[in-house]
Copies of this chain bind each other. A is one copy, B any other.
Amino acid sequence: MLRAPLTERQSVELARIFKALGDPVRLRLLSLIASHAGGEACVCDLTDAFDLTGPTISHHLKVLREAGAIEGERRGTWVYYRVRPDTLAQLSAFLVLPGDIAPASEAASGAIGASA
């Protein structure tokens, strides 16, 4: 959180995730997966969206996976990836500034009575 200085350990862990998102291809992969019907996408769908070879896409997916941003599951011949909301919420929580009205972490973690 930007309300208090990060410890060195916290900064290392968070930086790993931010770094994983610090590439245009990975960011587009993430948005393709997240916005895909059913919340998951098969690798074959993703590869077609880029002018890149399969191994390169595979590499980027691995970086996202190892950073905890996505998770994959094999079903038959295909592998399906989906976003891990908890990880993204962690980033969002960090970005909340001391002066902000409402903490974004609450919005991400679920129940807000007001809208019901």
Contacts from A to B (Cβ < 8 Å): 1-6, 8, 11-12, 14-16, 18-28, 30-32, 34-35, 39, 49, 83, 85, 88-89, 91-92, 95-104, 106-108, 110-112, 114-115
* SS class, residues of chain A in contact with chain B: helix
With A15-B27, A22-B18, A97-B85 already in contact, the answer to whether A102 and B107 are too (CB < 8 A) is: yes
Choose among A26, A34, A49, A115 the residue with the greatest number of B CB atoms under 10 Å from its CB.
Answer: A34
A97 to B96, CA, bound (A): 17
Q: List 18 extra interface pairs beyond A100-B108, A103-B107, A104-B104, CB under 8 A.
A: A2-B31, A2-B34, A5-B32, A5-B49, A8-B24, A12-B24, A14-B24, A15-B23, A15-B27, A18-B18, A18-B27, A19-B23, A20-B22, A21-B22, A35-B98, A39-B99, A104-B108, A114-B114
